[in-house]
Amino acid sequence: MNYESVAEKMEYLNLQHIPSILQDLTDTAVKEQQNPLAYFERLLSLEIEFREERRIATSMKISGLPKGMFLDTFDYMFQPSVEKAKVSFLSSCDFIRQKENVLFFGPPGVGKTHLATGLGVKAVEMGFSVIYYTVEELLSLMKKRSDVPLLKQRRQSYIKNALVVLDELGYQAMDRTETHLFFQFINARYVKGSVIITSNRSVKDWVGIFANDQMATTAILDRLFHRAHIFNIDGNSYRLKDFQLMQNGGGKPMVE
Binding track over 182-221 against ligand ADP, x by CB under 6 A: ----------------x-----------------------
The CA-to-CA distance between both ends of the chain, in Å, stands at 69
Does residue 110 belong to the site contacting ligand ADP (CB under 6 A)? yes
CA distance 206 to 229: 18
Sign of CA dihedral 252, 168, 104, 116: negative
Residue 168 or 178: the one with the smaller Cβ distance to ligand ADP is 168
CB 116 within 8 A of CB 150: no
Binding track over 77-116 against Mg ion, x by CB under 5 A: ------------------------------------x---
Does residue 238 belong to the site contacting ligand ADP (CB under 6 A)? yes
Report, in angstroms and rounded to the nearest whole number, the Rg of the chain calculated over CA atoms.
Answer: 24
Residue 113 or 236: the one with the smaller Cβ distance to Mg ion is 113
CB 196 within 8 A of CB 119: yes
Query: Near ligand ADP by CB under 6 A, which window of 101-109, 124-132, 151-159, 213-221?
Result: 101-109
Nearest to 100 by CA among 249, 256, 224, 215: 224
* Burial profile 124-157: b = 16 or more Cβ within 10 angstroms, e = fewer: bbeebbbbbbbbeebbebbeeeeeeebeebeebb
The DSSP letter of residue 207 is H
Does residue 113 belong to the site contacting ligand ADP (CB under 6 A)? yes
Does residue 108 belong to the site contacting ligand ADP (CB under 6 A)? yes
- Which of 19, 109, 118, 120 binds ligand ADP (CB under 6 A)? It is 109
- Which of 3, 40, 78, 89 binds ligand ADP (CB under 6 A)? It is 78
What are the φ and ψ backbone dihedral angles of 154, each rounded to 5 degrees? -45, -35
Residue 59 or 117: the one with the smaller Cβ distance to ligand ADP is 117
Residue 82 or 181: the one with the smaller Cβ distance to ligand ADP is 82
CB of 87 to ligand ADP, least distance (A): 11
CA distance 87 to 103: 12
Binding track over 51-70 against ligand ADP, x by CB under 6 A: ------------------x-
CA distance 115 to 72: 10
Does residue 74 belong to the site contacting ligand ADP (CB under 6 A)? yes
Interface residues with ligand ADP (CB under 6 A) are 69, 73-75, 78-79, 106, 108-114, 198, 238-239
